[in-house]
Structure 1
């Protein structure tokens, strides 16, 4: 079940985000990987609206049902976001990071716009979703939860919260997947080296807070591309170029107590786990105009 749902998510994500295929192709041409399956997906991320019938408490039910374990909470005061991460049932699956907008913390006008859409969802839709039907879950994660927004509403939300604007258009669309660079061959298995490879191939990296985001303990290093721009069709057939999704990269260092292990013996459980609010805060900006230049 979980494998089928994740496959569906990744298929549509790859179709919509040109950088995904382009990065994989560049890695193949460089001889970094022999095939796409050699890439470890560190985590995937979703964005949601924090309203009673939706948000984290709704979306997480899908992944908890498939064996994920809810872990640490994160709070992003300036961006008005909350988040949790979820550990997978087995190491071959990606971690999951789900964030939600604290809608009640926005201006009355922004709340009014958001609620005019989310109020169309009268009850938690996951409660009536057959979680034993992978095709139904896949379809749900790629379906519109509310009517297509107007360009005017999207633009007004973007003035106050670019996160809100992204979600009002994209709904549960996969925000990003993450390549684990520490499992790549020497010369490419650090964030610094992999960033240099990406930029040498012409990819643009998020430079908010620096191109490499480093946790206080120095054990989690992350970077990301700037989101691909997509032509979005809004209500009344209005179109506009907006930020879509992006690709993230993570380097998780070996924990000190396992430093004695030979490289061939290192597994996921021997590396730094979890996330870091300071890193994630800047990664969010991969879809922001300050990065996309839109």
Structure 2
């Protein structure tokens, strides 16, 4: 099996579990089918998928990115989020049919001593880079890795202590490498639904709650990238001590990439991915991170 076919299978595994875990995905797709925006789910273009990691030895971006670069992804722009103490990169896919990948990482060394101690009490269980041990050409091995814990289940006390300082940290310490979100490309949808403002109205009409941090529509300074997102669904989490609490799971994002000025005269049926605004925007992403934050979920 060649690397592209392996990648297809890995992505299928990620999406299948993500759909099971995030009911909003099927809810949105069902509403789109019912309004005949799409005929079937294959008509959706996945703009990008995103993962959260922790910046400690053997883990973080330097480890996780190896999975995707193995399948032909190319590392692109760096982003820094000072207030959230995060770094990130995005990765360009090997073909236009594959989603971009966005990987972020918590700058653990910038947290309080207490938070660092909690995090390292879990991540210290990882003694070497786990990706180095994987046969990345074995679909089942990679799929299992992406859906398996790397450290023990946290206690509720540790989770809440982390959440009070970094909700990103608490999300990762419980959810590990679960897919954080996938993104529907809005610009490829039929007229009346192919801009973020219209699609947001469609979502709210069907009862989906949108992230309001920085406004429902997050827009890049050049006006070329517009994004919105649902608020993360709450999941019943069981902690190490047997206690349960509802916490943020994953969510769905939406992206409108406008045509670059130099291609403005191209007929719509000739537009390809490279004719549109590429990459990401730090300020947009900064607000979308908050889809899992209590300020949005009101938990």
The root-mean-square deviation of aligned C-alpha atoms, in Å, is 0.3
Q: Distance in 1 between matches of 2:244 and 2:144?
A: 24
Q: Which residue of 2 aligns with 1:65?
A: 70
Q: How does 1:64-83 map to 2 (within 5 A)?
A: 64-83=69-88
> Given the alignment of the two structures, is residue 207 of structure 1 paired with residue 217 of structure 2, yes or no?
no
Per-residue deviation, residues 156-189 of structure 1 (Å, max 9, x unmatched): 0000000000000000000000000000000000
- Per-residue deviation, 1:102: 0.1
Q: Distance in 1 between matches of 2:39 and 2:286?
A: 33
Q: Distance in 2 between matches of 1:221 and 1:209?
A: 12
Q: Which residue of 2 aligns with 1:122?
A: 127
Q: Which residue of 2 aligns with 1:156?
A: 161
Describe the SS at the equivalent of 1:183. Answer: coil
Identify unmatched segments of 5+ residues in structure 1: none
Q: How does 1:181-220 map to 2 (within 5 A)?
A: 181-220=186-225
- Per-residue deviation, 1:45: 0.1
User: How many residues matched?
Assistant: 294
Runs of 4+ in 1 over 6 A off after TM superposition: none
TM-score normalised by structure 2 residue count: 0.98
Per-residue deviation, residues 192-227 of structure 1 (Å, max 9, x unmatched): 000000000000000000000000000000000000
> Given the alignment of the two structures, is residue 107 of structure 1 paired with residue 108 of structure 2, yes or no?
no
- Select which of 254, 274, 278 maps to 1:269: 274
Q: Distance in 2 between matches of 1:95 and 1:278?
A: 18
Per-residue deviation, residues 29-51 of structure 1 (Å, max 9, x unmatched): 00000000000000000000001
Q: Which residue of 2 aligns with 1:172?
A: 177
Q: Distance in 1 between matches of 2:274 and 2:132?
A: 33
Q: Distance in 1 between matches of 2:57 and 2:279?
A: 27
- Per-residue deviation, 1:237: 1.4
Q: Which residue of 1 aligns with 2:249?
A: 244
> Given the alignment of the two structures, is residue 224 of structure 1 paired with residue 229 of structure 2, yes or no?
yes
> Given the alignment of the two structures, is residue 259 of structure 1 paired with residue 264 of structure 2, yes or no?
yes
- Per-residue deviation, 1:238: 1.1
Q: How does 1:2-17 map to 2 (within 5 A)?
A: 2-17=7-22
TM-score normalised by structure 1 residue count: 1.00
- Select which of 263, 274, 283 maps to 1:278: 283
Per-residue deviation, residues 90-127 of structure 1 (Å, max 9, x unmatched): 00000000000000000000000000000000000000
Describe the SS at the equivalent of 1:159. Answer: helix
- Per-residue deviation, 1:52: 1.6
Describe the SS at the equivalent of 2:241. Answer: helix
- Select which of 213, 231, 238 maps to 1:233: 238
